[in-house]
Amino acid sequence: MGIVITVSRQLGAGGTQIASRVASRLGLALVDRQILDRVAEEAGVPAGLVEAVDESPAALKQRPRSVRPGAPSVTYSQLIQSAIYETARKGDVLILGRGAHLLLQGMPGLLRVKIIAPMEKRVQSLSERLSLSRSAAERAIRDSDRNRAAYIKAVYGRDWMDMTCYDLVINTHQIDQETAAEIICLAAETLRRTRAQADTGSMAS
């Protein structure tokens, strides 16, 4: 099995961009919205319906009205978890958000990363990237933080900002995206070597 990296990020901290760099350098499949597309296809509903409850407590309660006869009655959260797990089982993948760091904890070859930044930097970054006013950027960040924290609490009973849930935490206040990507790649390559050595030792014995 290859390595699996999960990247949890605060909106505006640059996590998505950093994840893209890491996936490209390490030759990993970058999985983000693909999870939603897979859930939508399995549930037989438009992708927009899945996106509406993505990383929100609503995913824990809402059940899609599948158009497929005989399909089991499950919540969006259960479908999302199943899609994440099946994706991770293939290895050599980087998964963004959705509590993957908690769902997959204990999986061999797993590196759990958190990308954070001070509020001021996040507001400035989001404003520039999406051409938003300061108030709109602040509102988007507050909404995102609230939904993600509530989702993790509802599904896993954990604090979204509990740093002990991660193997590597990077604050992009002074660490730029390029350096952050290099740090994550270094950690991942070390993990790969450790796994390869363990596998070799196991075969020799």
Tens-digit pLDDT profile for residues 159-174 = 999 999 999 999 999 9
Beta strand spans in 10-138 (E): 29-31, 93-96, 110-116
Tens-digit pLDDT profile for residues 105-156 = 999 999 999 999 999 999 999 999 999 999 999 999 999 999 899 989 988 9
Domains of the chain: 4-199 (3.40.50.300)
What is the number of residues in the chain?
Answer: 205
* CB-based contacts of 118, cutoff 8 Å, min separation 6: 171, 173
- Kindly report the average pLDDT of the chain as a whole number: 87
For residue 28 the two structure tokens come to: 């990993």
For residue 12 the two structure tokens come to: 């505006």
What is residue 183's DSSP assignment?
H
For residue 70 the two structure tokens come to: 């005989």
> Which range, of 36-40, 87-91, 196-200, averages the lowest pLDDT?
196-200
- The beta-carbon contacts of 72-76 under 8 Å, at least 24 apart in sequence, are 76/39, 76/43, 76/50
> Which range, of 68-72, 86-90, 197-201, averages the lowest pLDDT?
68-72
11-15, 69-73, 82-86: range with highest mean pLDDT: 11-15
Q: What is the pLDDT of residue 130?
A: 93
Q: What is the pLDDT of residue 162?
A: 95
Rounded to a whole number of angstroms, the distance between the first and last alpha carbons of the chain is 19
Percent of the chain residues past pLDDT 70, beyond the cut: 89
Question: Rounded to whole angstroms, how far apart are CA atoms 180 and 21?
Answer: 9
